[in-house]
């Protein structure tokens, strides 16, 4: 069985990864240069050569995009029930890359996006199969996001890892 076949139906893990990246994007801020005159969707004129900066970290917290529950870690943003499936199977629903720019957007969308998700899903599934992972901090722990070229959390995110028993 191919790696893709192993993970293609792991929609819950896929949704978890997307929601985590929405709240804590790996690249919290990015800058692009206009290669020609353009007009943004709000009518703003952008002249050729202008540097435009956008912030995925901020965009992932915008009520206008994500709703009043934007601060909640909510997998339902990425999932929907398949009405054609009698069991009500969940399916993954992607978002507009201009409102969720974790892998850039057309025409410069990341060519490795699908490979990255394949690798992340295999890694998460493998870890969760073998280990139980739980937060080690108090329930109301609020991570402090530190902005660098790539983001990190101040002091890390404390977890406890316990090996699971033998699998049947």
pLDDT at 1: 66
* Exposure on the CB side of residue 31, measured as CA atoms within 13 A: 5
**Residue predicted with more confidence, 58 or 153:** 58
54-88: pLDDT as tens digits: 999 999 999 999 999 999 999 999 999 877 777 77
Reply yes or no on whether the pLDDT at 19 is more than 70. Answer: yes
Cα distance between residue 20 and residue 23, in whole Å? 5
Mean pLDDT computed over 97-110: 87
Cα distance between residue 107 and residue 42, in whole Å? 20
Q: Which H helix or E strand runs over 14?
A: helix 11-23
Reply yes or no on whether the pLDDT at 136 is more than 70. Answer: yes
SS3 readout for 31-93: EEECCCCEECCCCCEECCCCEEEECHHHHCCCHHHHCCCCCCCCHHHCEEECCCCCCCCEEEC
Q: Give backbone dihedrals phi and psi of 141, rounded to 5 degrees, phi first.
A: -60, 130
Q: How confident is the model at residue 149 (pLDDT cuts 50, 70, 90)?
A: confident
pTM assigned to the model: 0.85
């Amino acid at each position: 069985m191919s790696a893709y076949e192993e993970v293609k139906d792991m929609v819950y893990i896929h949704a978890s990864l997307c929601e985590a990246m929405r709240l804590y994007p790996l690249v919290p801020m990015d800058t692009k240069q206009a290669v020609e005159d353009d007009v943004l969707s709000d009518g703003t004129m952008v002249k050729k050569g202008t540097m435009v900066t956008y912030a995925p970290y901020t965009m992932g917290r915008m009520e206008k995009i994500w709703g009043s529950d934007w601060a909640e870690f909510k997998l339902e943003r990425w999932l929907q029930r398949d009405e054609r499936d009698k069991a009500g199977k969940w399916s993954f629903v992607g978002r507009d890359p201009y409102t969720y720019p974790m892998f850039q957007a057309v025409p410069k969308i990341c060519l490795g996006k699908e490979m990255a998700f394949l690798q992340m899903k295999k890694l998460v599934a493998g870890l969760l199969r073998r280990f139980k992972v739980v937060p080690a901090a108090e329930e109301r722990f609020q991570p402090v996001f530190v902005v660098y070229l790539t983001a990190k959390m101040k002091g890390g995110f404390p977890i406890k890892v316990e090996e699971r028993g033998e699998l049947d």
